[in-house]
Chain A
Amino acid sequence: ELKVEQNPLFLSMQEGKNYTIYCNYSTTSDRLYWYRQDPGKSLESLFVLLSNGAVKQEGRLMASLDTKARLSTLHITAAVHDLSATYFCAVDIYGGATNKLIFGTGTLLAVQP
């Protein structure tokens, strides 16, 4: 059974600090998404990582993908309160005629002023 696990599940951090969210998955995939979800809202796409070694950065967030280790990371630099949200990774599974996303457990990030 395919598993996509994130850790930590909950992260409380102070503004200005750095931290990393980890996403481990149990099957072969070279494509992974990171999404952000604010309370009561839908999902906002943050990053699409397309190959081994891919690294993307947007503002205070940087995502990377290691397909050999089946690991993606989302690094937060100098956190600010506006980053408080739930972050999901999602592994793209291609099944021939179609693809589908398998989501991680989610990480609830609370940035304290």
Chain B
Amino acid sequence: SAVISQKPSRDICQRGTSLTIQCQVDSQVTMMFWYRQQPGQSLTLIATANQGSEATYESGFVIDKFPISRPNLTFSTLTVSNMSPEDSSIYLCSVVDLYDILNGEYEQYFGPGTRLTVT
């Protein structure tokens, strides 16, 4: 299974600033995703990060607010821009294992998450 790390693990930021979250995977993966989990809530998909092309955003999420980079098959970043207290959440990176996809069998793994508090 893929091993995923995220940086930072947590941060406290001031309103109006931006934070970039990094996601590193120990193997090449085709699909990487960014999820948000607001306090006491379920997970909501923000976007699918595609290597070599623009990310695909879900309804309610826009590139200006959550720009994403995917420079290669093992790394992605999510930036939370112009933060407000409503952005306080856990942000999780997730991947689908490349090998399993080719055989029609795959599993989706989640990173440890970045706990963001905006004051």
In the assembly, what is the distance between CA of A99 and CA of B33, in Å? Answer: 10
Nearest A residue to B107, CB-CB? A48
Q: How far is the CB of A41 from chain B (nearest CB, A)?
A: 8
CB pairs A–B below 8 angstroms (16 shown): A33-B108, A41-B113, A42-B111, A45-B109, A48-B107, A88-B43, A90-B108, A92-B108, A98-B48, A98-B56, A100-B48, A101-B43, A101-B45, A103-B44, A104-B42, A106-B41
> When the two chains form their complex, are residues A99 and B31 in contact, meaning their CB atoms are under 8 A apart?
yes
Question: Which residue from A42, A50, A98 sits with its C-beta under 8 Å from B31?
Answer: A98
In the assembly, what is the distance between CA of A48 and CA of B31, in Å? Answer: 18
Q: How far is the CB of A92 from chain B (nearest CB, A)?
A: 8
Nearest B residue to A101, CB-CB? B108
Task: Specify which chain B residues have a CB less than 8 angstroms from the CB of A42 in the assembled complex.
Answer: 92, 110-113
A69 at the B interface (CB under 8 A): no
A78 at the B interface (CB under 8 A): no
Task: Specify which chain B residues have a CB less than 8 angstroms from the CB of A45 in the assembled complex.
Answer: 107-109
Task: Specify which chain A residues have a CB less than 8 angstroms from the CB of B109 in the assembled complex.
Answer: 45
